[in-house]
Amino acid sequence: MTLCAKKLVRAEKLIGGLGGEKDRWGQVAVDLQVAYDNLLGDVLISAGTIAYLGPFTSAFRDKCTSEWVQACKVCFLCPRQSSACACVGVHVCARVYVHACV
């Protein structure tokens, strides 16, 4: 009987600990859906930026990118502000990649 009571207490602790995981996984699912919804526009703008805007000034790149984002919104390709950095990846990894290629 004592062993059964101990197992029951441990099971309740385990279930209680996993309750927070459900919330966390729910938020991860929502974040992934947002990323999926914006994927096409993010990739399109990122590819255009990498392919065409490299040699230009930062002000011109920002202007072109803003215009491209507006065009994507009109075509419903990205419902939110597109982010090339979010699409390409973590800043530190991108910086390492850029330095390795140069």
Domain count within the chain: 1
Query: pLDDT (tens digit, 0 to 9) for every residue of the chain, 102 residues total?
Result: 788 888 888 888 887 777 777 788 889 999 898 888 888 888 888 888 888 888 888 899 889 888 888 888 887 766 665 555 555 555 555 566 555 655
pLDDT at 44 (0 to 100)? 85
CA distance 7 to 102: 60
pLDDT at 85 (0 to 100)? 56
For residue 44, what is the enclosing H or E element?
Answer: helix 2-52
Q: Which of 84, 63, 82, 83 is nearest to 73 (CA)?
A: 82
pLDDT at 1 (0 to 100)? 73
pLDDT at 29 (0 to 100)? 93
pLDDT at 81 (0 to 100)? 59
Structural domain of 60: 2-101
